[in-house]
Structure 1
Amino acid sequence: MASMGALSSFVDFSQASLYISLFSITASPVAWNLIGRNEYRHKTLTKLIGARVACTILGVLIFLAGLLRDVLYKTALFDQPYYPLPYEIQTILAWIIFSAGNFLVLTAFLRLGFYGTFVGDYFGILQEKRVTSFPFNILDNPMYMGATLCFVGAALWYERPAGLLVALYVHLTYATALHFESPFTDMIYSNKASRKNE
C-alpha cells in the first residue's frame, strides 16, 4: 500500500488523458495486425482497390495514427506531476536517448522502405529476402525499440516520471505484438521460399 502511495506522487492515475494515451498506444498495433492478417488470408482490400493502393492507404493511416499517439502522449505528460531532474539527465541524457530512438526508426525505415515498414508483406508485397543489415544486425526489431526510446527520452525531457511508466507500457505492448507478428512474418517468408523452390 505504501508503494502505491509513493507511486501516486509521481503518477496521477485520475487523469483521463493518461488512459487515452495508453489506448492510442495499444490501438495501432492491434488494428494493423487484424487488418493485415485479414488481408493476407482474404485479400479483402486487394480485391477492392489493389494491393499497393490498399497498403499505401493503410501505411498513411498507421503513420497518422502514430502522430496522434505522440500528441496524446505529450498531452498526458503535461497532465502529470512534474519532477525536476538534473540538467545532465533532463537535457543531455534525454537528447541522447531520443536521438538514438529516432535514428533506429529512421534507419530501419530506410532499410525496409515504405511497404516493408507498413505491413506490405501481409499484402503480398515482399522483399527479395528478410532484411538483416544495420540496424537489423544489432536488433531484431529496431523500429519498436526506437519508438520505445523516444517515449523514454520525451519523459525525461519534460521531466514527467509518469512518462517512464507509459514507456514501459509501450515496450510491453510492442513485445506482445511481436509475439504474434514475428511467427506470422516468418511463415509468410517461409511460404515464399517454398514456392520459389518448387
Structure 2
Amino acid sequence: MLAAGLLFGALFSGPAHAGNQKEEALADSVRLALANAINDSRPPKPVLRDEAARARYQAWFEEMSRRLAKRIPDELSRTEFLESVWYESARAGLDPGLVLGLIQVESAYRKYAISIAGARGYMQVMPFWTKVIGDSDRRKLFHMQTNLRYGCSILRMYIDMEKGNLYLALGRYNGSRGKPKYPNAVLAAWKKWEFKPAT
C-alpha cells in the first residue's frame, strides 16, 4: 500500500515551481467578494452571446486543444480543462492565454502537483486560502474547476491590489514580488499561449 502511494506521488504530484504565496490581511469586503466567487456553483460552460463569439471560442478551443494534446492526451479531460480555463478566466476578467501560461510555469499542467511550499494543483494554490475564503477543505484544491477558480480569483485580486500592474501582481501571486524571474517566466509563457484568430 505504501509503495503504491509513493508511486502515485512520483507520477502525479512531483514538486512544482511555485513560490510561497503570502497570507495577507484582506479587507472584509475583499474577503467576502473572494468567498462569493469561490462558492459560485454554476457549471463552467462558456457563455457566448452571439455567433461571432461562438466562432471565436470554437477557433480558440480547437487551437488550444491541438497545442495541449501532448500535455493532456485524454480528449475528454482536455475538453473539460479548456472549458474551465475559458470560463474561469472570463469570470475573473483574465486572458485565458495568461492563465494557460501561468499553469505552464506553476505546475506544467499537472493536476496533482505539490510545490515544496505546499501549493497545490494546476495553479499552485496555497492551502491557507481554503480557510480564508473557502470551506477549509484542502483536498478540493486538486479538483480542476475549484483549483482554477481559486487561482483566477486570487490573481484577479492581486492585479486589482497592484492597480493593474501585472508584473507586480504575478510576483505577489508567486510570493516573489519585486523579483523578475517568475513574472518574466509567466509573461514569456503567455506569449506562447496567445490566441491570434485568422483574419
TM-score (norm. length: structure 1): 0.29
TM-score (norm. length: structure 2): 0.29
Larger radius of gyration: 1
Structure number having the greater helix percentage: 1
